[in-house]
Amino acid sequence: MRRRLLVSYLILTLVILVVLEVPLAITYREREIQSLEAKLERDAFVVASYAEDTLEGTADADLGSLVTAYAERTGGRIVIVDASGEVRADPEPLREGARSFESRPEIQTALNQEVAVGTRESASLGTTLLYVAVPVSSGGQVHGAVRITYPTSEVDSRVGRYWALLVGIGVIALTGAAGAGILLARWVTRPVDTLRSAAEALGEGHLDARAPTDAGPPEIRALAQALNTTAGRLEDLVHAQEQFVADASHQLRTPLTALRLRLEMLDMRTTDDTDRADITAAEIEVARLARLVDGLMSLARADRAPATETTSRLDVHAALVTRAAIWEPVATERDVAIAVETTEATLRADPDRLDQVLDNYIANALEVAPAGSTVSLRASAVSITGVGRAIEVHVTDEGPGLTPEERRLAFERFWRAKPGAGDLGGSGLGLAIVRKLVRLDNGTCELREGPTGGIDAVAIYPS
């Protein structure tokens, strides 16, 4: 918006300058031409009055010296002809001997006792000439004509300098308009920028962001007030939803624990194999429901967690080794190895959130890893366009993998690749929690295809 306003100011200023300066330059040239024409016409009549007696035959003035002196003084060329058009004086004759200008239109006009004024191209001189031809007459009888020609290059030079002056003034005016336009555009768009910043903060999850309602025109203030009202209602709704999920999850844990204990007691007292199988199936469903409740509570805590700037650096290798040691017994029970690749990278992230991310990734990997396979943990430094240097944390399994569409949907809440549930997960909330936790540390996460067809779960953190 600021750029559009500035461009609009400059275009408007340029149009005004063109409308003012172009007619001014054209008028200046016309005025210069008219002034030169008047001067040449005055000089021509003066020369005509001086040459009248000579052309009439009553005197013998030196017309050649006159026209030569005029040419040296002014740069104009005077040609004096008699009544028959024969040249009587010419400071720059193109050839020797008698010459006749009777065929020249301006000479014919002057010999007809009329003043001829105009411009013509001179092939011999290669320039445009302004000419004035006046008759030399007395008592109604024409004795000859005087023609003065003057190159328009001098006028064009003055007009060119005038154009340069106008262009310089235009550049100064445009520069001033640009400076004023920048200040004016900032003043106009500052309330809009503030409003946009508040909207962007809301979009990033900062539900407490508000726009000032005491700046800008009434329309912007009304829009800011509407945005604040909407943000307040949205904050109330989200907090109510989060609180409901947290309260419901907390309240469900007690009856689920009691239900699991009752099922275990029934299992101990039951001797019938059919009843025992039913009780075992019920215990599995209760365990899955308990994991779902725990996931909802973790997700609610992640939603309520503030997105604070993390300045401390973590040793990625130490974190990977620690999580691998914690999950080693589970992996051994499933006949799966956990390998940690050595790395010296460090990243900026909250240590507790990083541990939760790794736990979710490792649990998912062990869930699908076949017996005899290896789950690899590693980190690598990468360079991302527009972000700069970053650290990628990888948890790679050798399981069946997912399709590209399934990998894209895997971070959605309650999404599962298959309806079954293992003993390590299956609630469909683990990756949703991972995405929330990684975003709190200004990172991103994604699932890639592993080198052996499994899943390469990646979390990307700023370095």
Q: What is the DSSP string of 297-342?
A: HHHHHHHHS--PPP--EEEHHHHHHHHHHHHHHHHHHTT-EEEE--
| pLDDT at residue 31 tops 80 | yes
Please identify, among 254, 269, 304, the residue that sits at the C-terminal boundary of a domain: 304
Say what the alpha-carbon torsion angle 6, 9, 11, 17 is, to the nearest 10 degrees: -140
Q: Read off the pLDDT of residues 294-328 as tens digits, 9 standing for 90 and up.
A: 666 666 666 655 555 555 688 889 999 999 999 99
Residue ranges making up the domain that contains 35 = 2-157
Q: Does one domain contain both 104 and 149?
A: yes
**What are the tens digits of pLDDT across the range 67-78?**
889 888 888 889
Per the domain annotation, does 189 fall within a domain?
A: no
Quick one: pLDDT at residue 420? 46
Ranked by mean pLDDT, which of 19-23, 311-315, 330-334 comes out on top? 330-334
On the question of pLDDT at 181 being above 60, the answer is: yes
pTM tops 0.75:
no
Quick check: 32 and 158 in contact, CB under 8 A? yes
SS (H, E, C) 198-240: HHHHHHCCCCCCCCCCCCCCHHHHHHHHHHHHHHHHHHHHHHH
11 shares its domain with 48 = yes
Q: Is 201 left (phi over 0), alpha (psi -120 to 50) or beta?
A: alpha
Residues 383 and 299 in one domain: no
Let me know whether 262 and 361 are in one domain: no
Neighbours of 294 (CB within 10 A): 16
Say if residue 66's pLDDT is above 60. yes
Q: Is the pLDDT of residue 429 over 60?
A: yes
The per-residue pLDDT for 421 is 45
CA nearest 391: which of 306, 331, 453, 314? 314
| 437 contacts: CB under 8 Å, gap ≥ 6 | 302, 305, 353, 356, 357
381 in a structural domain: yes
Averaged pLDDT for residues 256-271: 78
pLDDT value at 387 more than 70:
no
pLDDT of residue 298: 63
Report yes or no on 300 lying in a domain: yes
Asked if residue 170 is part of any domain, the answer here is: no
Of all residues in the chain, the percent with pLDDT exceeding 70 is 87
Model pLDDT for residues 389-409, shown as the tens digit of each residue: 889 999 999 998 888 888 888
Among residues 122, 157, 192, which one ends one of the domains? 157
